Amino acid sequence: MGLKKKGVWEYPPHSGIKFLKVINRARGQTFGESIRVIVPRKITGVVRIRKNFGNLTDAERYADELITGRERQGQDFFVATTDGVRRELLALLPRIEAHGVTLTQAVEMGLKHLPLQGRSKTIAQVVEELVTLKREQLEKGDLRPRSFEDFRDRAEKIGRDFNGKVISALTEDDVKGWARKMKVAARSVKNAVFTLAEVLNFAVQKRYVSASPLQYLTKQERKSLYGASGQRKQPAILTVKQMESLLTAAREHHLLGFVTLAGFCGIRTEEIKRLQWSAVHLEDTEPFVHISPSIAKKRAVRNVVIPPNAVAWLRLMQHRQGPIVTQQATRNAHTRAFMKLAKAAGIDWKANMLRHSYGSYHSIHGGDTMKTAASMGHRQGDQVLWDFYKALVRKPDAEAYFALTPK
């Protein structure tokens, strides 16, 4: 429909609202006149409005209502807000408009990201809540005592470190400052950060916080806190002579079963500590150790073949009943007993030397890294073996290692 303008005026006077008389035309025919009302953006607050009316009376009534409503809204705005709120609003409007959204849209999006509850909960309180849930898992048998204790100890220390800090106020800068103050090894820092991550993820799920500040840490920042995950050092392993000395001393220190299963079968320390002799099948045609779901780390159930030389060492033990590791009166009793053994054998002990030795020697001796990885309980192939355990050894040394037998 074409429109032909016939004069322009402003109504109400000085309001900024323009009136235009237009002739309605279509396909060469005239359909009378209309009054077009043009309302500027400064009145609507959003966009300019154009609207047609069939007569002047309706058009003026519309304009009057707009002006009256605007004045009334303005009065309500000034009554309902303080000077501080108005100044804040004026400062924020340009930023909101720069993102192409309205004030209402900005507020709605912001509200969605606010925690709905627990805004005053401290980190220590959230830790206590999560520890209680994990204790229930422990009592149901869904969590091992060592796993529970490790988490509880790390998490409660985090609660103490932040000393009353409200969890919703925690920032990435707080996390970085906390991690950098730790006077411990990089691996311990990483364990602490991972524990904090679990606490924060729990808080997100409970809607105590809208997001974990850890998600804002860059890869470079994480690297500066606890090193790059891709950096691998060649693992420390025992020489053949050291393993022989360790086995000999282990008989006197009542740790022969542990040393044999860790060094010649690659079973984890925590798995051996949970093992009973009933799981060690020496009389089978192909002797093996059964690692059941209640024993295996991350439920890596498997049967581990016992090599012939290891069978010979295990047969030296006369009383093969009950737990394989008997030094467990306290949590660290086994560690203390083993460190005495290492000292007696004249070995400068490094972490996981027995398991590292197995991974290194067995993969060369058998020539199959996938079988070695399976024996060690790595369910995702041999990448972990290559990353952590496989030191460079010679074939003759690997053969000598698995030829060690009692004298």
What is the residue extent of each domain of the chain? 2-80, 83-112, 123-226, 240-401
SS3 label, residue 25: strand
Average pLDDT, the chain: 84
Render pLDDT for 250-262 as a digit per residue (tens, 0 to 9). 999 999 999 999 9
Higher pLDDT, 399 or 33: 399
The CA distance from 76 to 89, in Å, is 15
The CA distance from 126 to 26, in Å, is 71
Query: Does residue 333 carry a pLDDT above 80?
Result: yes
Query: Does residue 214 carry a pLDDT above 80?
Result: yes
Beta bridge partners of 5: 22
Tokens 């804040």 correspond to what residue? 88
Q: Model confidence at 41, in pLDDT bands (50, 70, 90)?
A: confident
The CA distance from 342 to 313, in Å, is 18
> What is the topology classification, in CATH, of domain 240-401?
hpI Integrase; Chain A (1.10.443)
Residue 74 has what pLDDT? 62
Query: Does residue 387 carry a pLDDT above 70?
Result: no
Render pLDDT for 128-158 as a digit per residue (tens, 0 to 9). 999 999 999 988 888 888 888 889 999 999 9
The CA distance from 259 to 310, in Å, is 10
* pLDDT > 90 fraction of the chain, expressed in percent and rounded: 38
Cα 52 to Cα 10, 21, 37, 147, distances in angstroms: 15, 10, 6, 74
Find the distance separating the first CA and the last CA of the chain, reported in whole Å.
109
Q: Model confidence at 196, in pLDDT bands (50, 70, 90)?
A: very high
The CA distance from 46 to 306, in Å, is 79
CB 17 within 8 A of CB 40: yes
Q: Model confidence at 397, in pLDDT bands (50, 70, 90)?
A: very high
Render pLDDT for 59-95 as a digit per residue (tens, 0 to 9). 999 888 888 777 666 656 555 667 677 677 777 878 8
* pLDDT > 70 fraction of the chain, expressed in percent and rounded: 86
Give the DSSP H/E element, type plus range, for residue 56: helix 56-80
Residue 384 has what pLDDT? 63
Residue 2 has what pLDDT? 40
Query: Does residue 1 carry a pLDDT above 50?
Result: no
Higher pLDDT, 328 or 177: 177
Residue 264 has what pLDDT? 95
Residue 297 has what pLDDT? 67
Render pLDDT for 95-111 as a digit per residue (tens, 0 to 9). 888 888 888 888 777 76
Residue 116 has what pLDDT? 53
Peptide bond into 12 cis (omega under 30): yes
For the ranges 15-19, 216-220, 240-244, 289-293, the lowest mean pLDDT is seen at: 216-220
Listing from the earlier edge strand, what are the strands of the sheet with 302-305? 280-281, 288-291, 302-305
Higher pLDDT, 73 or 375: 375
Identity (one letter) of the amino acid at 38? I
